[in-house]
Structures are given as structure tokens and as C-alpha cells.
């Protein structure tokens, strides 16, 4: 095909971003239906959906990189559990005020804690721009690091064929 490997990867990125929106919207809809508050209005909903899409794109880079490095489709399933410690040791389930000191220390260093805090602030109607910036930088570093290596690997595989 005359399409460049980078263009194919960008297409995958766009697909991952769009694919994340329906489940994120469904979870948000259920949460709001069960009484969660959204003082951010339409901008809050848009912010949560945007953060969800960016997270999906950045996180999926790990799977693309692993699959292209190993050429083993099973590696993707094997990597699924790595999300649990990231979520468990963040402020996803419990606010820091209820955490023991050791747990709070880990959560404060977890790069996904600012993302969770950013999402909460967007829905509260008072966006925490510091958390939003930190979370976008973390996701940009994760995405750029994984996709640059994955795209190079993919391009070398295409050239070899």
C-alpha cells in the first residue's frame, strides 16, 4: 500500500479516541442518573469525554508497542492487569483524606491521580487547570513514548517486507 506506517498509526489513534467515547458517555450517563452531580454543565461532560479519549489513546500505546515488539497477539491480553495497580493506587476509589499515610504517598506519586482530579474538577464546574495540565503532559509523554517506538518498529517491519 502507498500509505505510510505513520498514517496507519494515526488512523489507529483516531479510532481509539472515538471508540472510548460511547462507554465513557454511558458510564457518565449512569452516574448522573444515579445522582452524581455535574456543575460543569455541557463543558463538564465534554471535558470528561475529552479526557477519556486522550487517556484511551495514550494507554493503548502500551499495547501497540508490546504487540509490535513481540509479534504475539496474546501479549495484549497478558498486559490487561497492569491497569489495576494504576487505578488501585490512585484517588480513583478513595479520596486522599481517607487514605493511610503510606497509601496517600503512593497515590500522590501516581501519574494518573492528576487525571482523576482533573476529571472531578471539570464536573465540579471549577476546573483545576494545574491537574489538567499535569495529566495532559503525563498522557502526552506516555503516548509519544509508546507510539514513536511502535511506529518506528512498524515502519521497519513494513520495509522488511
Give Cβ neighbours of residue 96 (< 8 Å, ≥ 6 apart). Answer: 104, 107, 108
Which three cell numbers, joined as nine digits, stand for 44? 463538564
**pLDDT for position 160:** 83
**Whole-prediction pTM:** 0.84
Domain for residue 66, yes or no?
Answer: yes
Judge whether 34 lies within some domain: yes
Residue 27 lies in a domain: yes
Q: Is 22 among the domain residues?
A: yes
**CA–CA gap between residue 14 and residue 137 (Å, rounded):** 19
Q: Could you report the per-residue pLDDT of 17-38, keeping only the tens digit for each?
A: 999 999 999 999 999 999 999 9
Residue 103 lies in a domain: no
Domain that residue 26 falls in: 5-73+115-155
CA–CA gap between residue 45 and residue 147 (Å, rounded): 28
Q: Are residues 123 and 37 in contact, defined by beta-carbon separation less than 8 angstroms?
A: yes
Does residue 99 form part of some domain?
Answer: no
Please state the φ and ψ torsions of residue 39, each to the nearest 5 degrees.
-80, -5
Q: What is the pLDDT of residues 108-137, one digit of tens each?
A: 999 889 999 999 999 999 999 999 999 999
Q: How far apart (Å, rounded) are the C-alpha atoms in residues 56 and 50?
A: 10
Residue 107 makes CB contacts below 8 A (sequence gap 6+) with: 89, 90, 91, 96, 99, 113
Domain count, the chain: 1
Amino acid at each position: 500500500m502507498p500509505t505510510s506506517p505513520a498514517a496507519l498509526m494515526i488512523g489507529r489513534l483516531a479510532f481509539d479516541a472515538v471508540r472510548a467515547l460511547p462507554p465513557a458517555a454511558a458510564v457518565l450517563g449512569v452516574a448522573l442518573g444515579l445522582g452524581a452531580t455535574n456543575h460543569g454543565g455541557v463543558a463538564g461532560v465534554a471535558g470528561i469525554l475529552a479526557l477519556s479519549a486522550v487517556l484511551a489513546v495514550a494507554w493503548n500505546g502500551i499495547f501497540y508497542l508490546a504487540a509490535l515488539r513481540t509479534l504475539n497477539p496474546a501479549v495484549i491480553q497478558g498486559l490487561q492487569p497492569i491497569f489495576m495497580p494504576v487505578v488501585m493506587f490512585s484517588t480513583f476509589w478513595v479520596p486522599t483524606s481517607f487514605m493511610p499515610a503510606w497509601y496517600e504517598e503512593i497515590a500522590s506519586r501516581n501519574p494518573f491521580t492528576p487525571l482523576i482530579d482533573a476529571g472531578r474538577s471539570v464536573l465540579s464546574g471549577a476546573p483545576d487547570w494545574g491537574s489538567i495540565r499535569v495529566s495532559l503532559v503525563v498522557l502526552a509523554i506516555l503516548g509519544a513514548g509508546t507510539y514513536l517506538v511502535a511506529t518506528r518498529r512498524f515502519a521497519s517491519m513494513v520495509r522488511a517486507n
